[in-house]
Structure 1
Amino acid sequence: MTTALPSPRVLPHPTRDEIRLESVLHALSDPVRMRIVSELADADAALSCSRFDLPVTKSTTTHHFRVLRESGVVQQVYEGTAKMNGLRRDDLDALFPGLLDALLTAARHQGARDAV
């Protein structure tokens, strides 16, 4: 019996047990990554990378999504040629109850202050 090799289109993600608080906090300490997470939190479904209008280059955008994925904040899957992104809210809420909501609320308050 031959074992099929994993598809090169499958991206590695940490399991729930591998997600570390310091990695999540590092990932969310960047304003561009926090903006991505805020948009995902407001979305009803996964969003493609191209859906985000970010003030950085494409290569920097790729870096930000990789940091979010590798820290366990987002789940990325390919649908055809699009890389779809979803917030791992269930995992984050189970591991760090209230953290994500507190950070999203704080980011919105800061955004409102900055807009004045």
Structure 2
Amino acid sequence: MTTPAVSSRDLPHPAREEIRLAAVLHALSDPMRLRIVRELAADGDELSCSDIDLPVTKSTSTHHFRVLREAGVVRQVYRGTAKMNGLRRTDLDGLFPGLLDAVLDALARESLR
């Protein structure tokens, strides 16, 4: 069951058992979303949307973060006026062992070419 929004500032997230491989792979299939995931993984903590510099419009950036959230790849919470993003590494590693590390390793190797 998707975690419902409690207030207008709470964002719905899929529960761990609702995260599906197809949705995760779709979310990771876009270069901008991969960039977001790479930056969140490198930071290891939460980053605000504005901390991740994407060469797209704000509305397109919002779309990419929403796709990642709805797929269960990231968790988004408001802290004051900032929307903070964190990688759901524990959930993803538990459901799909090695997937996230394999994707991040492939990105690193690709950037060296």
Secondary structure of the structure 2 residue equivalent to 1:54: coil
Q: 5 Å matches for 1:52-67?
A: 52-67=52-67
Deviations for 1:73-94, whole angstroms, at most 9, x for unmatched residues? Answer: 0000000010000000000000
Within 2, Cα distance between the matches of 1:60 and 1:95?
28
* Residue 87 of structure 1: aligned partner: 87
Greater relative CO, 1 or 2 (CA 8 Å, sep 6+): 1
Give the distance between the partners of 1:92 and 1:6, measured in 2 at CA: 24
SS in structure 1 at match of 2:13: coil
Paired residue type of 1:60: T
- Flag structure 2 segments of 5+ consecutive residues without an equivalent: none
Equivalent residue pairs, number: 109
TM (norm. structure 2) is 0.94
Q: Which runs of 5+ in 1 are unaligned?
A: none
CA RMSD of aligned residues (A): 1.0
C-alpha distance in 1, partners of 2:73/2:24? 7
Following superposition, which runs of at least 4 residues in structure 1 exceed 3 angstroms of deviation?
Answer: none
Shift of residue 6 of structure 1?
2.1
- Aligned match of 2:111: 111
